[in-house]
Amino acid sequence: MNANRSAGAGFKRGLQRRCPNCGEGALFRGYLAVRPTCEACGHDNGAYRADDGPAYFTIVLVGHLVVAPLLCFPFIWQAPLAFVLPFTLSLVTATTLALLPVVKGAFIGVQWSARATTTQ
């Protein structure tokens, strides 16, 4: 077990979607399913609860990174709604799906550094 649990190390390993304890094994076995134990060090990654928190953080990030700049779009270029709506929905969906596993990994990494498990 890693005695030095810094929030920065856990956050960085989580962003890389790696085990927060060792940084070697994969944190997820699929898109968002957390591996119960690390394949490299045997750490219990299933003890960290990341229910709705990552989704809320992802919504805030997408809102600031995508939606806010898109609000300026009509002032720069007058495009028909038939083009803007599918473009906007595609961009928001793709950005959300790309960020969600990364944010969930970081969320679990921060929980690891705080020793916040469901077994406490």
Residue 119 pLDDT > 80: no
Map residue 18 onto helix, strand or coil: strand
Stronger pLDDT, 65 or 4, i.e. the higher one:
65
Joined tokens for residue 93: 């969906």
pLDDT at 80 over 90: no
Residues pairing with 37 in the sheet: 44
pLDDT at 3: 60
* Per-residue pLDDT reduced to its tens digit, 49-59: 988 999 999 99
pLDDT mean over 13-39: 94
The answer to whether residues 93 and 43 touch, using CB atoms and an 8 Å cutoff, is no
Integer CA distances (angstroms), 87 to 16, 61, 66, 70, 71, in order: 29, 18, 11, 10, 13
- Whether residue 11 has pLDDT greater than 60: yes
pLDDT tens by residue, 66-76: 988 888 888 88
